[in-house]
Amino acid sequence: MKNPKRILLLAILGVLAAFAVLTVQRYVVRAARVQQANATAPYFPAGALWTQPMQQAPVDPQSSAIIQWLADHGAWGYGMRFQVDFSMRVLSADASTPRVPFHKGSTWFAADSDAVSSIPLPRNGGLEGENDYHCGGGDCHLIVADRSAQKLYEAWQANYANGALSATELTVWDLSRIYPPSGRGNQCTSADAAGLPIAPLLFNADEIAAGHIDHAIRFALPNNKIRARVFVHPATHAGSPRGPELAPPMGVLLRLKPDFDMSKLTPAAQVVARALQKYGMYLSDGGNIALTAQNDADTNTKYSDVGFDSHSLFPIKVTDFEVVKIPFLISQTNDCVRNK
């Protein structure tokens, strides 16, 4: 007669062994992804503003007052939480990528936008915050990098319907060009309120796995915490801010202080923090979540592979930053004049 206890024990051991094998396999896959990770190649040539080290740039005389104002008024959009948003995808295209007709949206930003007849739309891609190319509301950014053609397509309020893509604003960045501090032109917006490109200012899981982020990072504040009616280069537009004079202007560069205690952070978070010390972060848009990272649907490494999530930078406080010297303030008129 078979021993029921022995059968049960063997069954339990079998389940544990299978679980152990699956766990090991998961770790092997994660380790392989991390080992193969390479930092994202620069989008623009060497010399682009957001790839310049800024550790030696002087601190603005009003830095302490601006940072204290932010601290006194709740810091970021969600209070003191230095949170990360992962909803922005960066899709890759080449000559083989299907193209679809492009139509101007009903509220098309004619002066600020680049009109094209078609746009590459990779299969299995998606808009910001969506599972596909159908906009369900919100900003619905579309970002497609075609390095073979040296073009970066960035659209705001994009939507795919009836076999065509439409958007309220479309910027086609020339990846072979080093743009001046005035970017595409003063008073001109882009797919981001500040008129800056988006993709070059996003960090991603591959960069964290590689151990270095070689560019500045995009950050956002609520519009009531951004100085009203002005911007500073490299921003070329301000959006709709309504903050007082002590609020930071659109385009400002904040830099993590050199004496920040890195031991507060995980190794993955330290990679981001070092970039914030070396390159800083540019105020690029109005919003509640402070930092924006690229979604890992389009990277080799996943954020779970490196132990990084939306809360990983919570130990960093707004008072850990300083304001890099603010350039000449430019009053916003919304009269976009494109650079040639």
pLDDT at 32: 45
Q: State the DSSP H helix or E strand holding residue 277, giving kind and residue range, or none if neither.
A: helix 267-278
Angle at 291 between CA 286 and CA 297, to 5 degrees: 115
Residues contacting residue 340 through CB under 8 Å, at least 6 positions apart: none
Residue 214: closest CA among 202, 223, 222: 202
d(CA 293, CA 82): 13
Query: b/e for 124-139, b at 16 or more Cβ within 10 A?
Result: ebbbbbbeebebeeeb
d(CA 49, CA 179): 8
pLDDT at 23: 44
- DSSP per-residue letters across 206-259: HHHHHT---S-EEEEE-GGGSBTTEE-TT-----S--B-TTSPPBT-EEEE-TT
Coil, strand, or helix at residue 278?
helix
d(CA 126, CA 224): 30
d(CA 287, CA 88): 14
User: How would you write the pLDDT of the chain (340 residues) with one tens digit per residue?
Assistant: 556 667 766 667 665 655 544 444 444 445 445 555 577 899 999 999 999 999 999 999 999 999 999 999 999 998 889 999 999 999 999 999 999 999 999 999 999 999 999 999 999 999 999 999 999 999 999 999 999 999 999 999 999 999 999 999 999 999 999 999 999 999 999 999 999 999 999 999 999 999 999 999 999 999 999 999 999 999 999 999 999 999 999 999 999 999 999 999 999 999 999 999 999 999 999 999 999 999 999 999 999 999 999 999 999 999 999 999 999 999 999 999 999 8
- The pTM is what? 0.90
pLDDT at 291: 98
d(CA 319, CA 278): 17
Taking CA atoms, 121 is separated from 141, 160, 291, 303, 332, in Å, by 13, 10, 26, 25, 34
- End-to-end Cα, the chain, rounded Å: 90
Q: State the DSSP H helix or E strand holding residue 23, giving kind and residue range, or none if neither.
A: helix 4-36
Cβ–Cβ under 8 Å, residues 42 and 214:
yes
Count other C-beta atoms under 10 Å from residue 328's C-beta: 7
pLDDT at 19: 54
> DSSP code of 203?
B
